[in-house]
Amino acid sequence: MITLLCLNNEYLALLSEGRAHLISINDDSTQKIFPLKDTEDVIFCIALTDDFFFYSDSNNKLKMYQISENFSNIVDYYFENPIRKVYIKY
């Protein structure tokens, strides 16, 4: 079941069963699945801008990836409480 969809000019991001899928709109073969490592982490929320992909997980972390740098993880924030929603302000 798809929980959340996000869209920018190049990618469709969807959250399903605790995993985030990033799919290229222009090239159907390009797909990333987060978390990148095989873990038990569950993703609660995703957000997408033209340059960045964000998600919050069951380890109370908010992670940010830079799309143009081959999805490099650039920031991990740890919080005492889980982040259930991420809102992007343009």
Q: What are phi and psi of 39, to 5 degrees?
A: -130, 175
At 57 the pLDDT is: 93
Q: pLDDT digits over 1-52, tens only?
A: 999 999 999 999 999 999 999 999 988 666 889 987 778 889 999 999 999 9
Counting the structural domains of the chain, the total is 1
The token pair at 3 is 């929980």
- Residue 59 falls within a domain, yes or no? yes
Q: Is 83 within the bounds of a domain? A: no
Is 89 a domain residue? no
Q: Is residue 87 part of a domain?
A: no
CATH of the domain at 66: 2.40.10
| Structural domain span for residue 56 | 2-78
- Write down the residue that tokens 């995703």 correspond to: 46
Assess if residue 85 is contained within a domain. no
Q: Can you tell me the mean pLDDT for 72-87?
A: 89
Give the C-alpha distances (Å, rounded to integers) separating 18 from 5, 50, 52, 90. Answer: 13, 23, 19, 26
pTM (two decimals) = 0.87
In 3D space, the residue among 35, 40, 26, 37 whose CA is nearest the CA of residue 53 turns out to be 35
Query: Tell me: the pLDDT tens digits for 45-75?
Result: 999 999 999 999 999 999 999 998 888 889 9
